[in-house]
């Protein structure tokens, strides 16, 4: 596989992950980040995720990327860490597995795993996109909260015989799955910022849907598929779409490409490359309530675009939830911060 052409990429110094996070993802993360110490408490309480054991497993059964093993991938992960201004370059492992997949694992010292199925599917710039996507997960700190989702899924399975307990847990899991899907949209944006080639990101998403024969696919036709999916049909189609999301941690490929296309087209990508983005030093001052309102308003805007008959009934609900939810989050965050200040 030929290496991608050498070119200068803009370094996004001190970029906050809020710059690229989807509103629904950002709202949840800002709320959790405002509860200082929460992630540390969760890390210590959770015995379900043994990061050290997982690292040893990949160290023993996969190929660790470096200057002498997959050296071009080694360059890509270093470049992504440089562009997104990550403090430490994460380790990258290539695992023999025909199923195309990549993941960022860990919270103390996160690392990335890419399967051979995905490596063989993508060209050089598309690989840069995928690696940047995973570096985005690390910068956003998604691993801690994804671990919470996995723990709750396991707990839900154990209490499935208790009807009320299971129903309550399934509601929480469904909400976390929705956040998980939005975190994937966030990191598609991070991948494009890292490779600085939006078309490479779109190609990668198309290949994940239709395979390696890119000459047989057309981006405009693929976007039309997304528009048809978003429009839906009658109420039966709306219900089927909702049911199809149960248990899904990733958005469907047409949805991902359409969301990435909209983000690039609305100018957000170019504004960030031009230096107009929030810095990490301002993360502590981010308003939890405002981000909650942004998240609710995003859903309302998406439903306004949609011709889906079921979503049309939810537009006014989202508008009122945006205001009420924001006030609630502000109150909770202020109390937590006040309590933390008194203890310190």
Cα 72 from Cα 3, distance rounded (Å): 7
Q: How far is CA 334 from the centre of its chain?
A: 27
Cα 62 from Cα 56, distance rounded (Å): 10
Q: How far is CA 238 from CA 131, 232, 233, 304, in A?
A: 34, 6, 7, 15
Residue 113: strand pairing partners = 93, 103
What φ, ψ does residue 252 adopt, rounded to 5°? -70, 155
Instruction: List helix spans (H) across 141-275.
Output: 142-158, 163-195, 198-210, 219-231, 235-244, 253-265, 268-273
Rounded to 5, what percent of the chain is helix, strand, coil?
70, 5, 25
What would the DSSP string read from start to end of 16-64? -GGGTS-HHHHHHHHHHHHSTTHHHHHHHH--S--HHHHHHHHHHHSEE
What φ, ψ does residue 307 adopt, rounded to 5°? -100, 10
Q: In the numeric block, which tokens belong to residue 280?
A: 């990490």
What φ, ψ does residue 302 adopt, rounded to 5°? -65, -40
Catalytic pick among 91, 125, 134, 177: 134
The answer to whether 308 and 238 have CB atoms below 8 angstroms apart is yes
Reply yes or no on whether 265 is catalytic: no
Q: Which residues are catalytic?
A: 134
């Amino acid at each position: 596989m030929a290496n991608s052409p050498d070119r200068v990429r803009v370094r996004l110094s001190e970029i906050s992950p809020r710059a690229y996070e989807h509103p629904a993802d950002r709202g949840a993360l800002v709320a959790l980040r405002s509860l200082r110490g929460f992630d540390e408490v969760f890390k210590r309480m959770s015995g379900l995720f043994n990061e050290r054991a997982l690292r040893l497993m990949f160290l023993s059964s996969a190929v660790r990327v470096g200057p002498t093993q997959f050296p071009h991938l080694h360059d890509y992960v270093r470049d992504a860490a440089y562009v997104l201004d990550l403090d430490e370059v994460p380790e990258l492992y290539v695992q023999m597995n025909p199923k195309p997949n990549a993941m960022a694992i860990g919270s103390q010292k996160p690392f990335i795993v890419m399967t051979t199925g995905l490596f063989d599917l993508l060209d050089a710039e598309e690989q840069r996109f995928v690696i940047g996507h995973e570096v985005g997960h690390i910068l956003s700190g998604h691993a801690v909260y994804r671990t919470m989702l996995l723990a709750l899924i396991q707990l839900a399975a154990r209490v499935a015989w208790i009807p009320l307990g299971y129903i309550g847990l399934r509601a929480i899991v469904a909400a976390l799955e929705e956040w998980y899907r939005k975190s994937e949209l966030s990191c598609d944006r991070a991948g494009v910022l890292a490779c600085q080639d939006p078309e490479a990101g779109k190609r990668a998403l198309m290949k994940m849907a239709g395979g390696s024969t890119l000459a047989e696919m057309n981006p405009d036709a693929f976007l039309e598929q997304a528009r048809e999916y978003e429009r839906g049909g009658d109420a039966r189609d709306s219900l089927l779409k909702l049911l199809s999301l149960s248990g899904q941690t990733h958005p469907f490929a047409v949805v991902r490409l359409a969301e990435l296309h909209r983000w690039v087209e609305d100018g957000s990508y170019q504004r960030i490359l031009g230096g107009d983005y929030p810095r990490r030093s301002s993360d502590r001052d981010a308003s939890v309530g405002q981000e909650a309102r942004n998240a609710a308003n995003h859903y309302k805007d998406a439903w306004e675009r949609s011709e889906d008959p079921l979503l049309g009934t939810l537009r006014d609900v989202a508008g009122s939830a945006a205001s009420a939810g924001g006030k609630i989050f502000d109150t909770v965050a202020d109390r937590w911060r006040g309590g933390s200040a008194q203890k310190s």
